[in-house]
């Protein structure tokens, strides 16, 4: 093997397609890796493989990343139950699994050089680079960052670069940057970046309101220690279940949003995101968790979750604090067992029924309906519970 081998994390999109001839013209033998973390069908997988061949790569491999993304990200993310800035469901967290696959290919080829198509403007470069640095001594080459030193209209330059060499660019890629995986879909570029209403072309998996089915959808999700293990009574691997939930709830427009967030590098980032399956899982899990955890667990856990989400969002996937936080999250799930029925009429999803042996029901009392304590006990509790506030009011009351 030549010592000029380089492994490129490849998706077949504009950025990674540009990287191939750019690296080749600088003497590299380019080996592409597509980590299939879901979100693409057989036709798209075939396109990615054909695209790699058309670009003349030295070798191309496709890696099944579904099980890894479920185990490494979805499980703790659902345990956490929080989105970044209370909204965004971290849909690009497959990047960490993509790096794992690319580095494995580096080791197979005996090279320590890895390339990616991240720009110098976004968060993905942080996620890629920090993961590579955490996992070994590798050299990182980022062609898009390199051309930014000389070109301000980067995407236009990439398109022309490819077209000048006889490689076409798909029409949708000319307007938007689209990322799809098992977790969901994100879309940016064009009018989205300009804080304008999304155009007709800014569509993904989720059906518009006019196309929602008339009949509501109900599904039953079973959990064991906080992990979804069954759908409508049928046990299945987690990544297969998430793919199924994506297909079901996308028909009802569930999980689509427009989000503006504070990026790792300090800019404001605006995207359209669609995560129908994760929305259904989060709703079901939270409903079950709220019924079986203690009050103090339910109050404290979101603080841990928000920190875990921040670490994952900002690229610290291998930071030891993330591991520490996951140990707490896993411990909190010991009694999160049972089944939840979730329902949608379109646009949103609601948990409508919960069944678990761990629901914290008081045998002799029901909130606002019946109690097995007396009036004097209630009055005494209120007196003692509010002692500090009532004392302050008494002492400081105006004469």
Kindly write down the DSSP assignment for every residue of 148-171, as one continuous string. Answer: TTT-SSHHHHHHHHHHHTT----H
**Structural contact between residues 275 and 89, judged by C-beta atoms closer than 8 angstroms:** yes
Q: Using the predicted structure, report yes or no on whether residue 173 has a pLDDT greater than 80.
A: no
Q: Which of 373, 357, 376 is nearest to 365 (CA)?
A: 373
Q: Using the predicted structure, report yes or no on whether residue 24 has a pLDDT greater than 60.
A: yes
Question: What mean pLDDT, rounded, does the chain reach?
Answer: 93
Q: Do 304 and 330 belong together in one domain?
A: yes
Tens digit of each residue's pLDDT (9 = 90 or more) over 178-203 = 888 999 999 988 899 999 999 988 98
Q: Do 328 and 242 belong together in one domain?
A: yes
Q: Do 91 and 212 belong together in one domain?
A: no
Q: How far is CA 191 from CA 116, 120, 173, in A?
A: 26, 20, 14
Q: What is the mean pLDDT of residues 310-329?
A: 97
**What residue numbers bound the domain in which 393 lies?**
368-399
- Measure the CA–CA gap between 241 and 245, rounded to whole angstroms: 6
Q: Do 193 and 169 belong together in one domain?
A: no
Q: What domain count does the chain have?
A: 3
- Measure the CA–CA gap between 48 and 54, rounded to whole angstroms: 10
Helices (H) and strands (E) in the chain, counts: 15, 14
Q: Do 192 and 316 belong together in one domain?
A: yes
How far is C-alpha 248 from the geometric centre of its chain's CA atoms? 18
Q: Do 100 and 144 belong together in one domain?
A: yes
Give the per-residue pLDDT at 201: 85
Q: Do 83 and 193 belong together in one domain?
A: no
E-strand spans in 86-134?
113-115
Q: Do 66 and 198 belong together in one domain?
A: no
Give the per-residue pLDDT at 174: 60
Neighbours of 45 (CB within 10 A): 14
Q: Using the predicted structure, report yes or no on whether residue 2 has a pLDDT greater than 70.
A: no
Give the per-residue pLDDT at 363: 78
User: Residue 305, SS3?
Assistant: helix
Give the per-residue pLDDT at 310: 96
- Measure the CA–CA gap between 264 and 399, rounded to whole angstroms: 54
Exposure string of 8-29, with b = 16+ CB inside 10 Å and e = fewer, is bbbbbbbbbbbbbbbbbeeebb
Give the per-residue pLDDT at 1: 45
Q: How far is CA 232 from CA 10, 220, 244, 245, 340, in A?
A: 36, 5, 11, 11, 10
Tens digit of each residue's pLDDT (9 = 90 or more) over 98-157 = 999 999 999 999 999 999 999 887 788 999 999 999 999 999 999 999 999 888 888 889
124 inside domain: yes
16 inside domain: yes
Give the per-residue pLDDT at 368: 64
Give the per-residue pLDDT at 266: 82
Percent of the chain with pLDDT over 70: 97
348 inside domain: yes
Q: What is the mean pLDDT of residues 373-392?
A: 90
**Among 136, 155, 176, which residue terminates a domain?**
176
């Amino acid at each position: 093997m030549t010592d000029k081998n380089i492994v490129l994390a490849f998706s077949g999109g504009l950025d990674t397609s540009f990287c191939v001839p750019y690296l080749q013209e600088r003497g590299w033998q380019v080996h592409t890796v597509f980590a299939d973390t879901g979100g693409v069908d057989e036709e798209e997988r075939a396109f990615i493989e054909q695209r790699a061949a058309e670009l003349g790569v030295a070798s191309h491999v496709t890696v099944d990343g579904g099980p890894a993304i479920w185990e490494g990200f979805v499980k703790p993310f659902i345990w956490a139950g929080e989105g970044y800035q209370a909204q965004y469901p971290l849909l690009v967290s497959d990047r960490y699994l993509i790096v794992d696959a690319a580095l494995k290919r580096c080791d197979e080829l005996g090279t320590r050089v890895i390339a990616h198509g991240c720009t110098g403007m976004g968060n993905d470069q942080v996620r890629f680079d920090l993961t590579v640095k955490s996992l070994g001594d590798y050299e990182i080459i980022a062609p898009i960052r390199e051309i930014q030193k000389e070109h301000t209209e980067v995407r236009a330059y990439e398109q022309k670069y490819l077209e000048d060499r006889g490689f076409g660019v798909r029409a949708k890629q000319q307007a938007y940057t689209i990322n799809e995986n098992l977790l969901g879909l994100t879309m940016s570029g064009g009018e989205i970046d300009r804080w304008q209403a999304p155009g007709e072309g800014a569509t993904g998996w989720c059906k518009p309101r006019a196309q929602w089915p008339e009949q509501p959808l109900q599904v039953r999700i079973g959990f064991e220690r906080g992990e979804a293990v069954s759908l409508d009574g049928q046990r299945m691997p987690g990544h297969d279940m998430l793919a199924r939930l994506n297909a079901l709830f996308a028909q009802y427009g569930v999980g689509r949003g427009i989000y503006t967030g504070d990026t790792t590098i300090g800019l404001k980032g605006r995207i359209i995101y669609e995560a129908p399956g994760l929305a259904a899982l989060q709703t079901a899990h939270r409903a079950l968790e709220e019924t079986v955890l203690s009050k103090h667990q339910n109050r404290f856990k979101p603080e841990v979750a928000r920190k875990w989400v921040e670490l994952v969002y900002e690229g610290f996937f291998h930071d030891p604090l993330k591991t520490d936080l996951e140990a707490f999250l896993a411990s909190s799930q010991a009694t999160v067992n049972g089944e939840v029925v979730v329902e949608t009429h379109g646009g949103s999803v609601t948990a409508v029924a919960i069944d678990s042996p761990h629901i914290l029901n008081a045998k002799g009392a029901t909130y606002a309906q019946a109690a097995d304590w007396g009036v004097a006990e209630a009055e005494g509790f209120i007196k003692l519970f509010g002692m500090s506030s009532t004392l302050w009011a008494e002492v400081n009351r105006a004469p």
